[in-house]
Amino acid sequence: MSRLPRLRSSSPDRNHINSDAGPSLPSRMAASGSLKRKAIMEEDEETLDQPRKVAAVGPIRPSRPLQPSRTAANVTTTRGVATKPLTRPRAPTLTQSRGMSAPPTSLKPQSKPTAPVRTAPGRVVSGSRPAAGRAGADDKRFNELQSQLTSIEEARAADAARLAADMEAERNKVAELQNNHLALSRELATAKSQELNQRRELVHASDEIENLKKKHSREVMDLEMDIKKRDREIREVTEDLRICRSDLDRERETVSTLKKTISHQSTSHLTLTTQNHALEAQSTALHSQIDVYASTVSELTLKLEAAQKHIEDLKRDAMDGELVRRKLHNMVQELKGNIRVFCRVRPILPSDIVTYSGALSTSGSSSSLSEGSIDQEKAKGELQANLAFPDTRDHKEIVIASSSSSATGQERKEVYNFGFDRVFEPESTQAEVFEEISQLAQSCTDGYNVCIFAYGQTGSGKSFTMEGGVSETNAGMIPRAVEQVFRVASEMKSRGWEYKLEGQFLEIYNETINDLLGKGEFDKKKHEIKHDSKTGSTRVTDIEVVTLTSPSQVRSLLAIAQSRRSVAATMMNERSSRSHSVFTLRISGVNVGIAGCPGTGERCEGSLNLVDLAGSERLNVSFANGTDKERVRETQSINKSLSALGDVIAALGEKGEKGGDKHIPYRNSKLTYLLQNSLSGNSKTLMVLNLSPLAAHLQESLTSLRFATKVNNTTIGTAKKQSRTS
Ligand SMILES: Nc1ncnc2c1ncn2[C@@H]1O[C@H](COP(=O)(O)OP(=O)(O)OP(=O)(O)O)[C@@H](O)[C@H]1O
């Protein structure tokens, strides 16, 4: 049996297959860059290395079928690999012809028997026997051989025929196999191309799977996020639901409440409907009444219009009346005298009893003199000067009696009688004093300059009169005047006037001005007095001018001034006694009118100067030894300014009497220069003479009384005052 040569596929062929399958494969691998795909490709290659059923067919050359005519010896593979030759059919074994190893190719009679016949390579038929002896045997033998040969030939022919038939059969088989092979090759090619396609599809599928995986992971992430979002939403919705439920519960409660209310209201509604019907009936009745009233109203409206017109006329009359009142008030003040003098005697104080206990004839220590006790009253009687107030109706007189010893030793009694515009006894209250002063405060709001002095020796009650004590009843002239001005300003609003109030507070110490309301260091700033001749106003440079909004504010300003003065005081020197203090309240008003009645635009500017003068005692009384130079200087300065004040008032009096261009020595002191505009012209001046009730101060009191009388006899303007002196 011949076998088909086994054709193995070599690695180049595999490469060929691979190259057929894959010129695009590596590039795809490179393009994808995917390790996984590479692994798949390696796996593919390994799969290709596996032995296959079709590999025995040989390399894929479908276009070259096997050649049936090629002998086994000549058969080689296309790659030069030798294949086994087809097996030659074996001839029947010849037992007689041992030397013949192979049959002759053709059977021909030999013409030269001597010649060795080479039947087969290496074998030679020998012809060395003698031809004669052996001719018959040879012929016989030859014949035998010939017959044998013939039979061999025949056998051989038969074998050849059989062989040819076998060959033919083999060829047929080969052809069939080749056909099969071709068919299989085609199938293989088809299968390979399918495989390639499948591989491509596989790669595509891998890519797609990869993409799908990515997409899937993205989708999974999206889904997870979505789930989280949904979870959040669910939580929110749950929270909303919870809130909604609670809202719903509340709403349910509200609804039930409302239902109850509705049921109540429907009941009320029914009641109201009934009432409404009743009211409608009433309304109809009222409508008819309204008609009656409407006619009445129209009548009243006419009357009201007439009344309003009348009111406006009255308002106009009132404003005109206000002008008349001002004029009359001023005339009254002028008639009273533009310089007036009040005298006020303070009561004896417990401190006086302590101070002058040595002078008491009655025994007993000062500590035993409790207030209101008989001893104290007795002591007061002893200490008190002989003062009398005979004018019990008009309170205009004060009489002082004194006794002195003459050179001959005779006791001489003297009586001094003084008359003033008003004399206040020790029991007089602050309110009573102010009642007389309040008219001057009124003049101030009418646009006049007013000046009120408190004059007297140290401890006579000047500060008490001007500033007063802490309590309401003890409030002095300054807070009361301010309060009055505020009250008048607010009352005047109804008459069409609007006021602005400003205040300043200064002291004159040793002819130097100090700002008691200033914020800087006390006693350091230099201030100058400036007069405006056109407006008649006076201004002090660098002085703190405070806009006043309420009386309480003025009280706190007084406290500030007091504290600044206390800082400047020394143990030896009570500042308030040694300096003049001047509180100035400036009032500016404009007539803006009232509703329905336009203002006249009239303006007025007035000022109220409340002056607490320094102690008026004489130098030799205060400082008998006169060693303290500073205090001597203070006293000289005080005396100078007080005498300058007296000179100015006297000059004004002379001018009033005689007229003409009498020189008024305002510039002789800071005090008179400061008060220049408040002492002259249309100004009104009041001097409050404060007296000590003590007998010990009698001489000082008499000096003060004489000075005050001099002032009281002075006339400024039209009115002239009379006075009586002893
Ligand atoms: N009318 C009065 N009623 C009750 N106490 C008075 C009266 N007048 C003065 N005093 C008291 O007398 C004392 C001395 O008064 P005040 O300080 O006012 O005198 P002064 O003249 O201002 O003295 P100085 O010149 O030292 O300032 C104070 O304690 C005061 O309270």
- Each residue's pLDDT tens digit, 325-348: 777 766 666 655 578 899 999 999
Answer yes or no: is 646 a known binding residue.
no
The tens digit of pLDDT for each residue in 651-681 reads: 887 776 666 677 889 999 999 999 888 887 6
Decide if 151 is inside a domain.
Answer: no
Q: What is the ipTM score, two decimals?
A: 0.98
The tens digit of pLDDT for each residue in 278-289 reads: 989 988 998 888
**Distance from residue 509's CA to the centre of ligand 1 (Å):** 20
List the beta bridge partners of residue 529.
540
Distance (Å) of CA 7 to CA 10, 73, 82, 157: 9, 16, 10, 34
Can you tell me the distance from the alpha carbon of 581 to that of 611, in angstroms, rounded to the nearest whole number?
6
Q: Please report the pLDDT score of residue 166 as a whole number.
A: 85
The response to whether residue 461 sits with its C-beta less than 6 Å from ligand 1 reads yes
The response to whether residue 462 sits with its C-beta less than 6 Å from ligand 1 reads yes
The response to whether residue 576 sits with its C-beta less than 6 Å from ligand 1 reads yes
Q: Please report the pLDDT score of residue 671 as a whole number.
A: 92
Q: Please report the pLDDT score of residue 330 as a whole number.
A: 63
Q: Please report the pLDDT score of residue 360 as a whole number.
A: 62
Comparison of pLDDT for 56 and 313, the residue scoring more: 313
pTM listed for this prediction: 0.56
Which residue, by CA, sits nearest to atom 1 of ligand 1? 346
Percentage above 90 pLDDT, the chain: 16
The response to whether residue 616 sits with its C-beta less than 6 Å from ligand 1 reads no
Decide if 555 is inside a domain.
Answer: yes
Answer yes or no: is 458 a known binding residue.
yes
Q: Please report the pLDDT score of residue 14 as a whole number.
A: 41
**Which residues span the domain enclosing 385?**
337-362+372-712
Spatial neighbors of 399 by CB under 8 A, at least 6 apart, are 387, 388, 389, 390, 415, 416, 417, 418
**Distance from residue 418's CA to the centre of ligand 1 (Å):** 22
Can you tell me the distance from the alpha carbon of 437 to that of 342, in angstroms, rounded to the nearest whole number?
10
| 465, pLDDT greater than 90 | yes
Answer yes or no: is 460 a known binding residue.
yes
User: Counting atoms of ligand 1 from 1, which one is nearest the CA of 469?
Assistant: 31
Cα distance from N-terminal residue to C-terminal residue, the chain:
193
The response to whether residue 578 sits with its C-beta less than 6 Å from ligand 1 reads no
The best mutation among 345, 383, 434, 464 to test binding of ligand 1, ranked by most ligand atoms within 8 Å of the C-beta, falls on 464
Dihedral (CA of 670, 674, 680, 681) sign: positive
Structural domain total, the chain: 1
The CATH number given to whatever domain includes residue 627 is 3.40.850.10
DSSP string of 176-204, one letter each residue: HHHHHHHHHHHHHHHHHHHHHHHHHHHHH
Decide if 276 is inside a domain.
Answer: no
Answer yes or no: is 456 a known binding residue.
yes
Which residue, by CA, sits nearest to atom 14 of ligand 1? 459
**Cβ pair 386, 413 in contact under 8 A:** no
**Cβ pair 449, 717 in contact under 8 A:** no
Average pLDDT, the chain: 75
The tens digit of pLDDT for each residue in 223-263 reads: 888 888 888 888 888 888 888 888 888 888 988 888 888 88
Decide if 233 is inside a domain.
Answer: no
User: Counting atoms of ligand 1 from 1, which one is nearest the CA of 467?
Assistant: 18
The response to whether residue 347 sits with its C-beta less than 6 Å from ligand 1 reads yes
Can you tell me the distance from the alpha carbon of 297 to that of 289, in angstroms, rounded to the nearest whole number?
12
**Cβ pair 350, 429 in contact under 8 A:** no
Within 544-602, strands assigned E span 546-547, 580-591, 593-594, 597-598
Answer yes or no: is 364 a known binding residue.
no
Answer yes or no: is 122 a known binding residue.
no
Decide if 158 is inside a domain.
Answer: no
Comparison of pLDDT for 17 and 412, the residue scoring more: 412
| 608, pLDDT greater than 80 | yes
Parallel, antiparallel or unpaired: strands 422-424 and 339-345: parallel
Can you tell me the distance from the alpha carbon of 602 to that of 590, in angstroms, rounded to the nearest whole number?
6
The response to whether residue 476 sits with its C-beta less than 6 Å from ligand 1 reads no
Decide if 409 is inside a domain.
Answer: yes
**Distance from residue 638's CA to the centre of ligand 1 (Å):** 19
The tens digit of pLDDT for each residue in 159-216 reads: 888 888 888 888 888 888 888 888 888 888 888 888 888 888 888 888 888 888 888 8
Decide if 184 is inside a domain.
Answer: no
| Highest mean pLDDT out of 154-158, 368-372, 704-708 | 704-708
Decide if 407 is inside a domain.
Answer: yes
Comparison of pLDDT for 721 and 466, the residue scoring more: 466
Can you tell me the distance from the alpha carbon of 611 to that of 683, in angstroms, rounded to the nearest whole number?
15
Answer yes or no: is 538 a known binding residue.
no
Q: Please report the pLDDT score of residue 461 as a whole number.
A: 92
**Distance from residue 464's CA to the centre of ligand 1 (Å):** 5
* Lookup: tokens for 501: 């109030």
